[in-house]
A and B are shown apart, each in its own frame.
Chain A
Amino acid sequence: MQQEPAEILSLFKKSEELVEMLRKGRAFTEELMAENERLRYRVVQLEAERINPSELLLKEVERLRIENSQMSQKLEFLDSKFQQVEAENKDFAQRYVEVEEQNESLANLYVASHRLHSTLDCEEVVECIKEILLNMIGSEDFGLYMIDDETGELVRAGWEGDTAGTPDYERLALGQGLEGVVAISGEPYFGADPSGNGTCTCMPLKIKERTVGVISIYALLSHKKGLSHLDHKLLELLAGHAASALISSKLYSMTDRKLRTIEGFMSLLRVNHGGENV
């Protein structure tokens, strides 16, 4: 039963090899466990890293959302401001047009009144009224009538066009026809021609409450559709200024005539007186 020492030594050697192998196996297992631990740690780390970017992204999205809302508010503000400025701009443009119209209106009124009072010659005043009616109002058929206190009639002082030029319109009775009625009432008439021929405008020429004549417009120039606001203003101006200009020029010519008569008479007296002295 006794074994050989060589065999025993071999067994011993094998057992030592086995122990060594087991030791290595243990070391290897420990190494694997360590690696496993490290990898698990890495997995956890990577998991965390995977979560973090989504949070960052969410934060970024939130920041952008806030920024977007702020930008929207700014845009709304700018949009409202733009609309406000646009409205103001339109308002200014409208006011500019109105101011231009007023300027035009004032220039017309200034020239009309300046021309009316620039002369004391009755014929020139009549001519000036005709020019205003033709060039500024745009009338092609009109009559200017003055009240003759002696006969109680409207006497045509100036005219242009076919209707006003007919002999029937040379003298008109007060209170009769549109011109006569307007002369009596002292109220202007804007509207349809009572005779049925389109429209007609009749304006009394007044000095304070006294009517001294009438301007009657029977037809406008063919390209003119109607009377504008400026035309009404010009006619109103004519009603006052033309009346005073016509009466002033008439009075001046009367006074001038009287003065010449007196001067003639005085020079005659002087001649006679001088003759007596001689």
Chain B
Amino acid sequence: MEARMSNKSLLVVDDSATMRQLLCMTLTRVEGITQANITEAYDGEDALDKVKSGNFDLVLTDIRMPRMDGLEFIRKVRSELNEQTLPIIIISTKGAEEDVQTGMNLGASGYLSKPVSMSRLRELVTNFLGEH
């Protein structure tokens, strides 16, 4: 498992540096994942550039971000880049049922509401990386 995870590449997208730091700290607690496996992006636009140039196994994204929000980012990844299999997990303060539905309809693979349960996040990440 550890060996399988060590070559995985993750992208964390959030305009909050505090949140990015917390997510990175949590992800590095998943067996086999180190800081070297994680790339950070400030907003949707930054993330889109990084997805174009990099090869990621999993993306964690916020919704409310400047320049390009998380939903637009997902839409572009799925339609413009035609990346249908890349798992994208939304981590947002918007936790209402309709927000979750909107995100999932756009092509998100998972949805977590803030404040995030770190054990739940690790579980979800492990599942997605295990499948991918």
Binding site for B on A (CB under 8 A): 100, 103-104, 107-108, 110-112, 114-115, 128, 131-132, 134-138, 140, 221-224, 231
**From A104, A131, A221, contact of B16 by CB (8 A):** A131
A224 touches B115 (CB 8 A): yes
B118 proximal to A (CB < 8 A): yes
Q: How far is the CB of B21 from chain A (nearest CB, A)?
A: 5
Residue of B nearest to A228 (CB): B115
Kindly identify which residue among A115, A221, A231 contacts B93, using a CB–CB cutoff of 8 Å: A221
Q: Is the CB of B21 within 8 A of A111?
A: yes
Interface centre among A131, A132, A135, A222 (most CB of B within 10 A): A135
Q: A131 — which chain B residues lie within 8 A by C-beta?
A: 16-19
Instruction: Classify chain B's interface size.
Output: 10 to 19
A223 contacts across to B, CB distance below 8 A: 95-96, 113
If the complex has contacts A111-B18, A111-B21, A132-B18, are A221 and B119 also in contact, measured as CB distance less than 8 A? Answer: no
B24 → chain A closest CB, angstroms: 9
B4 is an interface residue with CB less than 8 A from chain A: no
Q: Does residue B36 face the partner (Cβ distance < 8 Å to A)?
A: no
Task: Given A221-B93, A222-B95, A222-B96, check contact A135 B115 (CB 8 Å).
Answer: yes
Query: How far is B19's CA from A132's CA once the two chains are assembled, in angstroms?
Result: 8
Residue from B26, B29, B114 in contact with A138 in the complex, judged by beta carbons closer than 8 Å = B114
Q: What are the residues of chain A within 8 A of B81 when measuring CB–CB?
A: none
Q: Which residue of B lies closest to A119 (CB)?
A: B17
Contact between chains at A115 and B18 (CB < 8 Å):
yes
B95 with A221: CB separation less than 8 A: yes
Residues of A within 8 A of B117 (CB): 104
A-B contacts, 8 of them at CB < 8 A, read A100-B119, A107-B25, A107-B26, A111-B21, A128-B17, A135-B22, A136-B22, A223-B113
Contact indicator per residue, chain B 93-120, by CB within 8 Å of chain A (1) or not (0): 1011000000000000000011101110
Assess A111 versus B22: contact at CB under 8 Å? Given A131-B16, A221-B93. yes
Q: Across the interface, which residues of A come within 8 angstroms of B118, CB to CB?
A: 103-104, 107
In the bound complex, what is the Cα–Cα distance between A103 and B26 (angstroms)?
Answer: 10
Q: Tell me the bound Cα distance from A103 to B29 in angstroms.
A: 10
